[in-house]
Amino acid sequence: MATPQTRLRELLPGARELGALLAARALADAVAWASGFRALSDDDYARISIAQRFAQAPSIDPSGTSWLPAPFWLYGAAFRGFGAGLSVARVTAILLGLGATVLVYIAARTLGTSRLAAVLAAVLSCCSVRYSTLLGLAAVPEVPCAALLLFAATALARPAPGLRAWGVLALFTACLSRYEAWPIAAIFACFCGRDALKQRRVGYALCALAALAGPVAWLALGHATHGDALFFVARVADYRRALGGDPTSIWQRLLEYPWLLLRGAPALFVALLLVALLSREHPPLPRLSAGRSLLALLGMLAFLMLGSVRDGVPTHHAGRVLLPIWFFGCIVAAQGLVACGAIASRRVSVCVACVVLLPIALLLVQRNDFLDRSLEIEAGQVAREYAARTLGGPAQAEPELLIDTPDYGFFAVQAGFGSPRRTSVVVDHDPRHPRPDPFHSAQTQDLWGHPQAAFVIATPEHCALLEERCAKVWQNARFALLRCAR
């Protein structure tokens, strides 16, 4: 059990435990890949293309949109060091998922669980929560950010200044990655401020101030760059409304996240129910020092509920932001299952195996409608290889590649091409700024008769407009690559 003044190094897994954690995450990644999962949405490829731009031209705010910058800094650094291929993004995502699994273990130990319970909590976090299983493989920040938030929340359970400082570092990174981190940072700061006043320790006061550094920095940047510290709230709301708005009532939107919390991880709630049933047959189970941590996570839930009412939450797969709460549930379930297993080991072991293995088995056998952008990625990669082979390297003039897609697939083309700064998109399909179809607009016919790009990726039905100056050099089922005279 962790003591009140535990240091971080005392909470780290041993070699055998670390092997079990990495094996669990590797199993989850293998299952996600075998199920056909490659990306959750076009946002995955948009993030990759932004990180590729950052690798070529670093900036404080790589996206220039409402997206927070830390993930682009990290992936951009990886692209800068190892090349801009999609394999680099995939390896980076896998490594971050492995790190997140270890951090769940550390968070469990911080709350006072045994080492066995901490291992089981980390295994459950990989395999019993569908979004965790899938997104551990994707180049998006949800899984590592959730683990950072979980650790920061659990750091409140111990009065050790060192752990609080590590919690602050986790919060700073998370707050510059995902907005749902902000309410946890505020509650973390309040508890640290309270402890500073009660115990008269300057360290806690510094932690309270530092916990808010990430949100304050982003608000200041927004005011300086966009003239509005809360610019991101308006952008998210405007985008959701441009998509058609939300016809549901306020009460339905208010209850959206509590409902998603219950239905998004059924295997985990089966485990929690099992603990509740078994605990009635055994002596009182050991309790976790989790009151403050739970309050911080419930504060995040309240923040999301308010955001849902105000159209300020994700436009798709909204449940993925609940990963920190589900990870916390994994710790509670693991602690209870291990405690009950001391008496009913065989029965509990069978139930635990079902909770772990059934979700990943279902993921393999059920029909999944995952986003498939393999043809767009192939087009981008072929364009990159052909340009390098025929031109001997990147061309000096920009744009080098003109992209025509009927939807947001151009992000995947850019990610496959690897150099988004050398691309131009015909139509970006932004519902906030609708543009006429250039193939049916006399004003833009000259563009297609005399393209400035050396290469064009276009849909087969639009290739005829480019035949005068361009020659088709490659084609798959949805796109053609043309080389154009300049």
- 383-392, 428-437, 473-482: range with lowest mean pLDDT: 428-437
**For residue 450, what is the enclosing H or E element?**
none
Instruction: Please report the pLDDT score of residue 2 as a whole number.
Output: 54
* Rounded mean pLDDT, 172-198: 97
234 pLDDT above the threshold of 50: yes
How confident is the model at residue 444, as a pLDDT? 47
What pLDDT does residue 252 have? Answer: 82
Q: Where are the domains of the chain?
A: 8-365, 374-484
Question: What average pLDDT does range 239-255 have in this prediction?
Answer: 72
In whole angstroms, how far apart are CA 187 and each of 161, 183, 356? Answer: 17, 6, 32
Quote the mean pLDDT of the chain: 87
User: Which of the residue ranges 298-307, 389-398, 442-451 would you say has the lowest mean pLDDT?
Assistant: 442-451
Contact 279, 343 (CB under 8 A): no
Closest CA relative to residue 307, chosen from 177, 180, 131: 180
Q: For a pLDDT cut of 90, what percent of the chain falls above it?
A: 59
pTM: 0.92
**Which tokens belong to 389?**
């082979």
The torsion region of residue 14 among left (phi > 0), alpha (psi -120 to 50) and beta comes to beta
Residues 412-419 have a mean pLDDT of 95
Residue 420 pLDDT grade (very low, low, confident, very high; cuts 50, 70, 90): very high
- pLDDT, tens digit, 9 for 90 and up, residues 200-231: 889 999 999 999 999 999 999 999 988 888 88
pLDDT reported for residue 177: 97
Bigger pLDDT: 361 or 165?
Answer: 165
Q: CA-CA distance, 143 to 149, in Å (whole number)?
A: 10
Write the pLDDT tens digit of every residue in 452-479.
678 999 988 888 778 778 899 999 999 9
Residue 191 has pLDDT above 80, yes or no: yes
pLDDT band at 346 (very low <50, low <70, confident <90, very high): low
3-state helix, strand and coil shares in percent for the chain, rounded to the nearest 5: 65, 5, 30
- Compare 261 and 356 and report the one with higher pLDDT: 261
pLDDT (average), residues 306-311 = 79
Residue 355 has pLDDT above 90, yes or no: no
437 or 176: which carries more pLDDT confidence?
176
Of 263-272, 387-396, 470-479, minimum mean pLDDT range? 387-396
Instruction: Determine the average pLDDT of the residues in 118-138.
Output: 94
Please check the confidence at residue 380 and state whether its pLDDT lies above 70: yes
Mean of pLDDT values over 302-325: 83
In terms of Cα–Cα distance, which of 85, 118, 93, 89 is closest to 104? 118
Residue 198 clears pLDDT 60, i.e. is over it:
yes
Residue 236 has pLDDT above 70, yes or no: yes
Total H helices, total E strands in the chain? 21, 5
DSSP annotation of 285 reads P
DSSP annotation string for 322-372: GHHHHHHHHHHHHHHHHHHHTTSHHHHHHHHHHHHHHHHHHHHHS------
pLDDT at 59 over 50: yes
Contact 48, 413 (CB under 8 A): no
Average pLDDT over residues 376-395: 82
Instruction: Give the pLDDT band (50/70/90) at residue 436.
Output: low
Residue 424 near residue 402, CB atoms below 8 Å:
yes
Q: How many CB atoms lie within 10 A of CB 466?
A: 21
